[in-house]
C-alpha cells in the first residue's frame, strides 16, 4: 500500500502535510521494538506504519524481542497488574523479566537516532541508551496499576526522553514530556477495507451463523479483561425481550498464555444456547471484517482497555457500538452521539435492547462514529503524530516554526 | 475590484499541526479546577478551548470547550457548563484574558452555588490537563488574486484553515485572522476583510466555516 492510495479517503492535502513533515526528518533513523510480530493492535499498527515511514523517506525499522514461556507468563502478570488486577508476583518473576531483557539487549543493536519502545515487555532495553533519544510507548491502561509493578517499571520509564499514552487518564507525574497519541486503524487493510456482500455471506456460511435474527458481536482476544462472560450475561438479559444471536470471536496473541483457559471458560458458560457462536479464530483479517459487517451491533465490554481498536474498526464500518467507558473508548464514543457507553452488565443489556429496538437511532450513531474515526483515528493521523513526536525530540517551546 | 486585481504581496498558506502533550496534572473538583487553571501554561488553556474545533470537524452536539463539557458531564453542573460554553472566545485577543474570563465565570458560579465546590468527579472522570505544541510550516500554496485564493481555500486541509483563522489571531496574538489582514492590506478590499472578521468562527464547524468563507469571497469575484 502506498501513501497516495489514502488520498480518496483523507484528501490530498493530508498526504501533502505528511510529506512536508517528513522532509524535516530526512536522515534520521527510527527503530521500533516490541514483543510480538503478530496478534494484537501494536503489531498490526507497526506492520503498516513502518513501510509508510520508509516511503516518506524516514528510515524506519522494526525489531521484536524474544522470550520463552516463562517470560511471557511474567509479562502477562505485569499486564494484568498494570490494569489493576491483583497478581502475586515473586522475586523470581522480576528476575526472569530483567534477565530476558538483558539477553535481548545483547542481541539487539539500538543505535538508531530514535529508539521507540512499545509496551512494558522491552522496557529494560533503556539500559543501552547512549546519546540517542528513547521513547516509551504505553499501549495499556495504567490509570490504576498495582503499585508494586508500576514502581518497578517506573525505574526504567523515567530514564526515557518521552512517554506516549493513549488516553489522558493514563498520564502520571513523570519527569519527561508525555504525549497523547491515539492508536489508529488502516482503512485500506484487509480488516477494514470495503468488501462485497458475497464475501460476508461466505464467511457467515463458513462459521454456520444464520442471519435470521439480529447479530450482536464482540471481537476480542479471549482475555478476562475483555469480559466475554459479561457480554454473555448482557446478551441473556437482552434476549428475554429481543431475539438475537451472539457472536464471540477472537484468537490469542503469541505473548498471551492465558487465552486458551479463558476460551474454555466461555465455552462452558455458553453451552446449550444454539444462538451463541463462539469462534476461536486464527489471524484472518478478511473474516473479522466480514463478521463486523454482518453484525447489527458491535460490543466491546472490556473491564480495562488501552484504546479499543475493535471499537474504531466497527465505527469505521458505520456500525452502532456498545462499549465500556474505560481506557481510550470514551475518546471514540460520546454516549448517544457516536455510540453507547456502559458501566455494567445491566447497563450493557439495556443499551443493547435500545439499539436492537431502534435501528434508525443505531444507524445515526454509526454514521457519526464513522466521521469521528475519519477525522481522528485513521493511520494517516497516527503517522502524522509520530512524525511530530520525532521532531519534538529536538525542540523546546510550544510554538515551533519548521 | 476586478478579477485581474493582483495582490501587492501574495498570500502564502501555512498549515499548523499539533502534538498533544499531557501535563500529568488532574482536578477532581471545581475548586481544584480553578486552582490548576490559574497555574497551567497558556498552551493548556488554549488546548482545552480549541480541541473540539479540531477533533470534530463535522457537526457535533458538544460544548465548545473542555471545561464546559467537564462541568456538565463529570460534576453534573449543567448551569455552569452553559455559562462556560457561552464564554465568547472570539472577543479575546490573547490567552491571558481568556483564562481570566473562564476562571472568573467559575468563581462567580462557585460564590453563588457553594454546594458546587463539594462535588467531586468519579475516579477516572477527573479533568486531565493537556497542552498543544504547534508546528507551523508553509504549504506549497500561494495566491495572488481572489480567484486563486478561493481555489486554494477549497483544497487546503482543515489544519491550514484552522491556523489562519484561529491560531494566528489568538495564540500568536495578531488580533485578527490572516485572511482579513491580506484582503485589506494586499488586495485593498477592506469590506471583504470586515465581512470575514465579523464571522464568529467558534460557532461553525470547520467545513461550515470553509463554506462561509468561500461564499463571501466568491461574492466579491466579478462574473466573467
Q: If you average pLDDT over residues B164-177, what whole number do you get?
A: 84
Where is the domain boundary, B109, B130, B151?
Answer: B130
Count other C-beta atoms under 10 Å from residue A52's C-beta. 22
| Residue A327: pLDDT band with limits 50, 70, 90 | confident
Report the alpha-carbon distance of residue A79 to residue A76 in Å, rounded. Answer: 5
Task: Test A14 with B157 for CB contact under 8 angstroms.
Answer: yes
Angle at A137 between CA A281 and CA A283, to 5 degrees: 10
A7 touches chain B (CB under 8 A): no
- CATH homologous superfamily of A3-184+378-392 equals Glycogen Phosphorylase B; (3.40.50.2000)
Domain enclosing residue B45, as ranges: 17-130
**Is the CB of B79 inside 8 Å of chain A's CB atoms?**
no
- The minimal CB distance from B21 to the residues A172, A180, A368 is found for A180
Q: What is the mean pLDDT of residues B16-45?
A: 95
Quote the minimal CA–CA distance from A374 to chain B in Å.
10
State the pLDDT at residue B2.
44
- Predicted confidence band of residue A253 (pLDDT cuts 50, 70, 90): low
Look at residue B5 and tell me if it is in a domain.
Answer: no
Size of interface A-B (CB pairs under 8 A): 102
Q: Using the predicted structure, report yes or no on whether residue A364 has a pLDDT greater than 80.
A: yes
Does residue B26 have a pLDDT over 50? yes
In the predicted structure, residue B57 carries a pLDDT above the cut 70? no
Can you state the percent helix, strand and coil of chain B, rounding each to 5?
55, 15, 30
Q: Which of A18, A143, A171, A304 to mutate to test the interface with B (most CBs of B within 10 A)?
A: A171
Contact A13 B156 (CB under 8 A): yes
Measured between beta carbons, which residues in chain A are less than 8 angstroms from residue B134? 398-400
B155, closest residue in chain A (CA to CA): A13
B137·A178 Cβ contact <8 A? no
Can you tell me the distance from the alpha carbon of B215 to that of B213, in angstroms, rounded to the nearest whole number? 5
The answer to whether the A3-184+378-392 and A197-376 domains have the same CATH topology is yes
Contact B141, B163 (CB under 8 A): no
Percentage, residues of chain B above pLDDT 70: 94
Same structural domain, B123 and B147: no
Residue B2 lies in a domain: no
Residue that wins the pLDDT comparison between B12 and B87: B12
Q: Which of A173, A389, A400 sits opposite B134 (nearest CB)?
A: A400
**Domain-embedded: residue B11:** no
CA distance A47 to B135: 27
Q: Are residues B176 and B75 in the same domain?
A: no
Q: Which among B96, B130, B164 is the end of a domain?
A: B130
% chain A with pLDDT above 70: 99
Confidence of residue B1 (pLDDT cuts 50, 70, 90): very low
HEC-encoded secondary structure of chain A: CCHHHHHHHHCHHHHHHHHHHHHCCCCCEEEEEECCCCCCHHHHHHHHHHHHHHHCCCEEEEEECCCCHHHHHHHHHHHHHHCCCCCCCCHHHHHHHHHHHHHHHHHCCCCCCEEEEECCCCHHHHHHCCCCEEEEECCCCCCCCCHHHHHHHHHHHCCCCEEEECCHHHCCCCCCEEEECCCCECCCCCCCCCCCHHHHHHHHHHCCCCCCCCEEEEECCCCHHHCHHHHHHHHHHHHCCCCCEEEEEECCCCCCCCHHHHHHHHHHHHCCCCCEEEEECCCCHHHHHHHHHHCCEEEECCCCCCCCHHHHHHHHCCCCEEEECCCCHHHHCCECCCEEEECCHHHHHHHHHHHHHCHHHHHHHHHHHHHHHHHHCEHHHHHHHHHHHHHHCCCCCCEEEC
Based on the fold, state whether residues B21 and B124 are members of the same structural domain: yes
Above 70 in pLDDT, residue B59? Answer: no
pLDDT of A72 over the 60 cut: yes
pLDDT surpasses 60 at B58: no
pLDDT digits (tens, 9 = 90+) for A89-126: 999 999 999 999 999 999 999 999 999 999 999 999 99
Between vectors from CA B156 to CA B153 and to CA B157, what angle results, nearest 5°? Answer: 135
Q: Tell me if B24 is assigned to some domain.
A: yes
Note the pLDDT tens digit of each residue in A276-325: 999 998 889 999 999 999 999 999 999 988 889 999 999 999 999 999 99
Q: Does the beta-carbon distance from A388 to B24 stay under 8 Å? A: no
State the average pLDDT over residues A23-52. 91
- As a whole number, mean pLDDT of residues B31-49 equals 95
HSE-up of residue A135 (Cα within 13 Å, Cβ side)? 27
Q: Is residue B104 part of a domain?
A: yes
Asked if B207 has any chain A CB less than 8 Å from its own CB, the reply is no
A128 touching B (Cβ < 8 Å): no
What confidence category does residue B203 fall into, taking pLDDT thresholds of 50, 70 and 90? Answer: confident
Task: For residue B79, tell me if it sits in a domain.
Answer: yes
Domain shared by B30 and B116, yes or no:
yes
Shortest distance between the Cα of B201 and any Cα of chain A, in A, equals: 19
- The CATH class for the domain spanning A197-376 reads alpha beta
Which one-letter DSSP state was computed for residue B220? T
Chain A residues 359-388 within an 8 A CB cutoff of chain B: 368, 371-372, 375-376, 384-385, 388
Phi-psi region of B33 (alpha: psi -120 to 50; beta: other; left: phi over 0): alpha
Q: Which residue among B74, B108, B130 closes a domain? A: B130
Q: What is the pLDDT averaged over residues A185-210?
A: 96
Q: What is the pLDDT of residue B63?
A: 58
User: In the predicted model, what is the mean pLDDT of residues A357-369?
Assistant: 95
A169, B41: Cβ pair inside 8 Å? Answer: no
Q: Say if the Cβ atoms of A20 and B60 lie within 8 Å.
A: no
CB proximity B29 to A under 8 Å:
no
Domain count, chain B: 2
Which comes out higher in pLDDT, residue B4 or B124? B124
Pick the residue from chain A with its C-alpha nearest to B207: A375
CA dist B214 and B224 (Å) reads 18
Q: Assess B153–A contact: CB distance below 8 Å, yes or no.
A: no
A89 min Cα distance to partner chain B (Å): 26
- Is residue B78 in a domain? yes
Q: What pLDDT does A173 receive?
A: 84
- pLDDT score recorded for residue A172: 84
User: Which of B14, B19, B59 to probe the A interface (max A CBs under 10 A)?
Assistant: B19
What are the boundaries of each domain within chain A? 3-184+378-392, 197-376
Amino acid at each position: 500500500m502506498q501513501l497516495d492510495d489514502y488520498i480518496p479517503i483523507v484528501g490530498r492535502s493530508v498526504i501533502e502535510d505528511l510529506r512536508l513533515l517528513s522532509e524535516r526528518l530526512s536522515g534520521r533513523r527510527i527503530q521500533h521494538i516490541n514483543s510480538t510480530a503478530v496478534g494484537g493492535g501494536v503489531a498490526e499498527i507497526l506492520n503498516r506504519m513502518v513501510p509508510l515511514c520508509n516511503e516518506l523517506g524516514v528510515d524506519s525499522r522494526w525489531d521484536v524481542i524474544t522470550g520463552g514461556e516463562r517470560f511471557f507468563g511474567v509479562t502477562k502478570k505485569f499486564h494484568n497488574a498494570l490494569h489493576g488486577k491483583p497478581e502475586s508476583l515473586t522475586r523470581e518473576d522480576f528476575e526472569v523479566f530483567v534477565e530476558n531483557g538483558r539477553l535481548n539487549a545483547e542481541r539487539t543493536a539500538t543505535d538508531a537516532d530514535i529508539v521507540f519502545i512499545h509496551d512494558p515487555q522491552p522496557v529494560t532495553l533503556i539500559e543501552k541508551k547512549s546519546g540517542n533519544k528513547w521513547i516509551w510507548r504505553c499501549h495499556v491502561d495504567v490509570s490504576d496499576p498495582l503499585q508494586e509493578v508500576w514502581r518497578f517499571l517506573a525505574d526504567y520509564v523515567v530514564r526515557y526522553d518521552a512517554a506516549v499514552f493513549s488516553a489522558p487518564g493514563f498520564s502520571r507525574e513523570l519527569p519527561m514530556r508525555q504525549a497523547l497519541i491515539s492508536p489508529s486503524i488502516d482503512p485500506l487493510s484487509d480488516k477494514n477495507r470495503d468488501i462485497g456482500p458475497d464475501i460476508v455471506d461466505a464467511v457467515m456460511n463458513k462459521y454456520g451463523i444464520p442471519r435470521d435474527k439480529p447479530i450482536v458481536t464482540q471481537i476480542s482476544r479471549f482475555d478476562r479483561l475483555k469480559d466475554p462472560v459479561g457480554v454473555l450475561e448482557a446478551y441473556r438479559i437482552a434476549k428475554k425481550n429481543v431475539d438475537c444471536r451472539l457472536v464471540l470471536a477472537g484468537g490469542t496473541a503469541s505473548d498471551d498464555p492465558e487465552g486458551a483457559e479463558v476460551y474454555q471458560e466461555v465455552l462452558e458458560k455458553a453451552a446449550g444456547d444454539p444462538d451463541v457462536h463462539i469462534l476461536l479464530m486464527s489471524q484472518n483479517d478478511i473474516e473479522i471484517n466480514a463478521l463486523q459487517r454482518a453484525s447489527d451491533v458491535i460490543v466491546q465490554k472490556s473491564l480495562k482497555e488501552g484504546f479499543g481498536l475493535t471499537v474504531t474498526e466497527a465505527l469505521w464500518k458505520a456500525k452502532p457500538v456498545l462499549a465500556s467507558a474505560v481506557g481510550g473508548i470514551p475518546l471514540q464514543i460520546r454516549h448517544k452521539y457516536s455510540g453507547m457507553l456502559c458501566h455494567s452488565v445491566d447497563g450493557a443489556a439495556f443499551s443493547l435492547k435500545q439499539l436492537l429496538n431502534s435501528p434508525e437511532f443505531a444507524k445515526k450513531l454509526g454514521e457519526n462514529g464513522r466521521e469521528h474515526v475519519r477525522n481522528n483515528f485513521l493511520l494517516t493521523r497516527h503517522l502524522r503524530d509520530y512524525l511530530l513526536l520525532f521532531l519534538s525530540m529536538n525542540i523546546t517551546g510550544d510554538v515551533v516554526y519548521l | 475590484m476586478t478579477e485581474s486585481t493582483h495582490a501587492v504581496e501574495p498570500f502564502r498558506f501555512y498549515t499548523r499541526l499539533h502534538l498533544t502533550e499531557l501535563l500529568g496534572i488532574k482536578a477532581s473538583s471545581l475548586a481544584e479546577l480553578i486552582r490548576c487553571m490559574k497555574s497551567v501554561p497558556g498552551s493548556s488553556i488554549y488546548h482545552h478551548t480549541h480541541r473540539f474545533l479540531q477533533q470534530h470537524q463535522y457537526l457535533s452536539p458538544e460544548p465548545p470547550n473542555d471545561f464546559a463539557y467537564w462541568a456538565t458531564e463529570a460534576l453534573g453542573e449543567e448551569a455552569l457548563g452553559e455559562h462556560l460554553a457561552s464564554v465568547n472566545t472570539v472577543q479575546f485577543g490573547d490567552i491571558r484574558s481568556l483564562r481570566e474570563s473562564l476562571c472568573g465565570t467559575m468563581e462567580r458560579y462557585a460564590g453563588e452555588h457553594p454546594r458546587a465546590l463539594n462535588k467531586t468527579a468519579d475516579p477516572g472522570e477527573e479533568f486531565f490537563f493537556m497542552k498543544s505544541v504547534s508546528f507551523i510550516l508553509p504549504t506549497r500554496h500561494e495566491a495572488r488574486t481572489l480567484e486563486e485564493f478561493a481555489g486554494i481555500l477549497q483544497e487546503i486541509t482543515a489544519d491550514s484553515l484552522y491556523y489562519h483563522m484561529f491560531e494566528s489571531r489568538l495564540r500568536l496574538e495578531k488580533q485578527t485572522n490572516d485572511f482579513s489582514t491580506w484582503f485589506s492590506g494586499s488586495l485593498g478590499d477592506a469590506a471583504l476583510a470586515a465581512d470575514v472578521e465579523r464571522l464568529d468562527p467558534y460557532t461553525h464547524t470547520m467545513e461550515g466555516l470553509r463554506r462561509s468563507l468561500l461564499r463571501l469571497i466568491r461574492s466579491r469575484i466579478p462574473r466573467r
